[in-house]
């Protein structure tokens, strides 16, 4: 992927990983549009940066995505990179019947949001020079935790969809998967101040180094995410499920 001179849309760019990516790509000489539901968070993310822009979208809502895509291409016809980063994570219990609103919101936001927005922009991107799509999945796509089963399933689906997209768009759009491990953001309440997750700055440093590889790897996997990403290939999947779930239970007991 080209590292400068792009026009990049980052969904969920008002906080956490999206905001950190937006700042790094801006500072490398790219125009960056950050999108999310909260205009105030987006404006704070921009600060005084001259080549950043904010646009609102609710990625859970198909009508909002269609309206957003039209406004986006009108305002930024040079758009050549899409980063599908917006996401939510809710904890759930599987051992009793429950209302499924959280599960539905995660499928709509994490999976259908990525599918719908990509669908709205693919015809534009596929005729652009230097086009790229970056889908943000998770280490939990590869080894699930029992406390967040729907979240893990949406991320496994994003991984699968990304593999298919990469093959379908070969030669037209570079398709990259970014696989974060547990990182200090407010994806779940209190996560940004817990000591276990990787500090956001360290994570983004590693991510940007990997992005600058020539060619950019198809999957951006920082050191801490390798434990999950490679578990199955290294024949230690069952052990990884057990270790990760034990670690998760202990971390949340002391949180
Ligand atoms: N942090 C981790 O440990 C971790 C690990 C693996 C993967 N990830 C993934 O990394 C991505 C970024 O998460 P993060 O950790 O940076 O958490 P975060 O700070 O909570 O960021 C999530 C972003 O998504 C946006 N968003 C959520 N629902 C949306 C909607 N309906 N429409 C538009 N935007 C929406 C939020 O903006 P608004 O609220 O303003 O809409 C927010 O800026 C997510 O896909 C997450 O699953 C994170």
Give CA 209 to chain center in angstroms: 17
Alpha-helix runs per DSSP H in 184-233: 200-211, 226-229
Do the Cβ atoms of 68 and 45 come closer than 8 Å? no
Asked if the model's pLDDT at residue 251 lies above 90, the reply is no
Instruction: Show the domains of the chain with their CATH numbers.
Output: 7-254 (3.40.50.720)
Q: pTM of this prediction?
A: 0.98
Question: Is 151 one of the catalytic residues?
Answer: yes
User: 171 C-alpha to center of ligand 1: Å?
Assistant: 30
Average pLDDT estimate for 201-230 = 97
**Residue 120: C-alpha distances to residues 14, 60, 112, 151, 214 (Å):** 21, 14, 12, 24, 29
| Residue (of 32, 36, 89) closest to 59 by Cα position | 36
Pocket of ligand 1 (CB under 6 A): 11-12, 14-18, 36-38, 41, 57-60, 85-89, 109, 136, 138, 180, 182-183, 185-187, 197
Question: Which band of pLDDT confidence, cut at 50, 70 and 90, is reported for residue 253?
Answer: confident
pLDDT tens readout for residues 16-40: 999 999 999 999 999 999 999 999 9
Q: Which of 25, 68, 142, 151 is catalytic?
A: 151
Do the Cβ atoms of 18 and 83 come closer than 8 Å? yes
């Amino acid at each position: 992927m080209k590292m400068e001179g792009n026009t990049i849309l980052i969904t969920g760019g008002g906080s956490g990983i999206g905001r950190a990516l937006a700042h790094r790509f801006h500072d490398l000489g790219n125009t960056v549009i950050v999108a999310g539901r909260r205009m105030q968070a987006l404006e704070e993310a921009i600060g005084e940066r001259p080549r950043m822009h904010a646009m609102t979208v609710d990625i859970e809502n198909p009508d909002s995505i269609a309206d957003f895509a039209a406004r986006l291409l009108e305002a930024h016809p040079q758009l050549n990179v899409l980063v599908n980063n917006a996401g939510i994570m809710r904890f759930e219990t599987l051992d009793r019947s429950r209302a499924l609103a959280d599960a539905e919101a995660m499928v709509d936001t994490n999976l259908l949001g990525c599918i719908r927005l990509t669908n709205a922009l693919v015809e534009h991107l596929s005729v652009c020079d230097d086009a790229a799509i970056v889908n943000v999945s998770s280490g939990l796509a590869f080894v699930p935790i029992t406390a967040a089963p729907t979240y893990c399933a949406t991320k496994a689906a994003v991984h699968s969809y990304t593999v298919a997209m990469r093959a379908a768009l070969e030669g037209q759009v570079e398709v990259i998967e970014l696989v974060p491990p547990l990182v200090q953001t407010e994806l779940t309440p209190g996560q940004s101040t817990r000591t276990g997750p990787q500090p956001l700055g360290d994570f983004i440093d590693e991510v940007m180094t990997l992005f600058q590889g020539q060619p950019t790897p198809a999957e951006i996997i920082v050191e801490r995410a390798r434990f999950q990403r490679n578990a199955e290939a290294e024949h230690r999947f069952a052990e990884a499920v057990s270790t990760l779930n034990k670690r998760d239970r202990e971390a949340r007991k002391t949180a």
